[in-house]
Structure 1
Amino acid sequence: MELAYFNGWVGSLEEARVSVNDRGYNFGDGVYEVVRAYNGVMFALEEHLARLALSAAAVEIDLPWAPARLKNIIVETLGESGIKDALIYIQVTRGTAPRGHVPEEEMRPNLLVTVRNMPDIPPSLYSEGVKAITMPEFRWQMCSVKSISLQASVLAKRRAERAGAAEAFFVLPDGTVTEGASSNIFIVGDGALITHPADNRVLAGVIRHFVLKVAGTLGVKAMEEPFNISDLMKAEEVFITGTVAEIVPVVNVDGKIIGGGRPGPLTARIHKGFASLHK
């Protein structure tokens, strides 16, 4: 059964209620994580919770729960749901108070955890790859924070969908490609992996982290360094990473065919190596 936990209350998603004075609702004033469970076991929960703590600290939200307590809440909610292949959403907002930009000092954060069935992912996503578009970067300067304020990503995803693409890649004025609207980007050049450094321009994705580790175990050279749009367009392979779909090949960017228009061999090797981590 799909469940919601909210500040100690547990029930169905349909019954869950959040106050209209919640600062997440009024200001997008909060942070979140999404964790995937495989056969009842959450993958990289510790890494996700560590990043949640970093995001909260960056936006000056003091988490009142000890890490062990927070973990137990999530584990117990997943267990109570009975769902084996699940998506677990964890959200912390600054709290509830009458609307005002300056938050009250003694406000207690709100914790929401939802457990949903993992959506079906078509096999063609991996066997055929997806299309992407590029667009100018227009987000804030703290992309390393996993903020619930996702208006820019929503707009980028809408534009990608209208263009028949699955993802939008953000490009800085100097031509540097940073990340996707909901993914990290890897390109392959001369047999090496390249992804943008984990600075304020990108979210340091958990799957991104494990892809870099897998590359090391496979003896594949991996570099965290900036690359530009010309590097992207002439790449041998391109793939994106994220918690839900894991590793997805990109075969077309702005109408330009990448790697012959088919998923590449290194992408397949990396995905196979990653899959072995959660089996």
Structure 2
Amino acid sequence: MRRARKRRGLRQSARLTHVSRTIYVDGSYVPEAEARISVFDRGFLFADGVYEVTAVVGGRMVDFDSHLSRLDRSLAALDIVSPLTDRELRVVHEKLIARNGLDEGIVYLQLTRGVADREFSYPYGLTPTIVAFTQAKPLLDNPLAESGVPVVLVPDIRWRRRDIKSIALLPQAMGKEFAKRNGAYEAWMVENDLITEGTSSSAFIVDSEGVLRTQPLGRHILPGVTRRAVLRLAEEHGVAFEERPFGIDEALGAREAFLTAASAFVLPVISIDGRNIGDGTPGQITRRFRELYLKECCQENI
């Protein structure tokens, strides 16, 4: 038994020593195997923290100012004051990208209230915990952009402050798992017969009149950074759009549907709960928005 445990321990140690990523933890850049936070961190105990995910293309960040703005808004809603300025957070991201040789992928950033003994009320005077790491993944040449993706519908069981990018993501993880088990890429959440958003994306349709539709901002959805960019592009290119709720029947009867997210950009939705949207292939407007967004990303990174 001891030998078996020792062999397992050696295998785990071997896996850890082969990890080459550098992680940022509270002011230090450390190997992944050495990255540690306290068991008394309120992020671990209460999900008392927020996060951001920034896309990286060509070794440079996409829409980073918008991510910083949303981060500041989320922190303010929770009365957390970041120990780093926006400029310092930018430097952290840039150093992680450089140290990990990241050309394409994402940087994940998480800030929690900090470390204290377990009490529900906020302990004041804490130094927030900051963790950031990179993940390499293909973003530009995504085969799903050509094929489109299926989505399924799930009840929206989240809390009432969805505009805060909270690390409390269990309902979203449950929805994503349901989607995976049912052969779908994403789950769109439904509340009062209206589609709010995806578990990790914003939801769009091109309705039967040819108008681009998405939920208006409010406490019921997250203010998506890529969502914001798409609406700006719609305005710049003369595409009619409305920030107006849409129901299940409207989505099923739409000409096109798509989702947006920092790590997916714009992806066509070709079916909902097994029912085709349009002819079941990526639509022309969706393709155009992905093309415009990618062009903008690449121009930013020249």
Matched-pair contact (CA < 8 Å) for 2:139–2:263: no
Among 177, 180, 193, the alignment partner of 2:195 is 177
Q: Is the 8 A contact 1:2 1:83 kept in 2?
A: no
Q: What residue is the counterpart of 1:267 in the other structure?
A: 286
In 2, the alpha carbon distance for the partners of 1:171 and 1:86 equals 30
CA distance 1:124–1:75, shift in 2 (3 Å): closer
SS at match of 2:172: helix
Residue in structure 2 matching 1:60, options 63, 71, 79: 79
The match for 1:101 is 120
Q: CA offset at residue 122 of structure 1?
A: 7.2
Listed as ranges, the gaps of 5+ residues in structure 1 are none
User: Is contact 2:50-2:164 (8 Å) kept?
Assistant: yes
Q: Percent identity?
A: 35
Q: Distance in 2 between matches of 1:120 and 1:79?
A: 18
Q: Does 1:5 align with 2:12?
A: no
Distance 1:47 1:131 in 2: 28
- Does residue 188 (structure 1) correspond to residue 206 (structure 2)? The answer is yes
1:241 and 1:14 mapped to 2: Cα distance? 33
1:147-166 equivalences in 2 (<5 Å): 147-166=166-185
| Secondary structure of the structure 2 residue equivalent to 1:260 | coil
Gaps of 5+ in 2: 1-19
| Code of the aligned partner of 2:92 | I
**Structure 1 vs Structure 2 CA RMSD:** 1.5
Aligned-pair distance for 1:8?
A: 1.1
- 1:168 equivalent to 2:187? Answer yes
Q: How many residues align?
A: 278
SS across alignment from 1:259: coil
User: Which one of the candidate residues 16, 19, 36 is aligned to 2:35?
Assistant: 16
Q: 1:87 aligns with which of 100, 106, 109?
A: 106
Do the aligned partners of residues 120 and 28 (structure 1) sit closer, same or farther apart at CA in structure 2, a change above 3 Å counting?
same
Q: TM-score, normalised by structure 1?
A: 0.95
Q: Is the 8 A contact 1:187 1:239 kept in 2?
A: yes
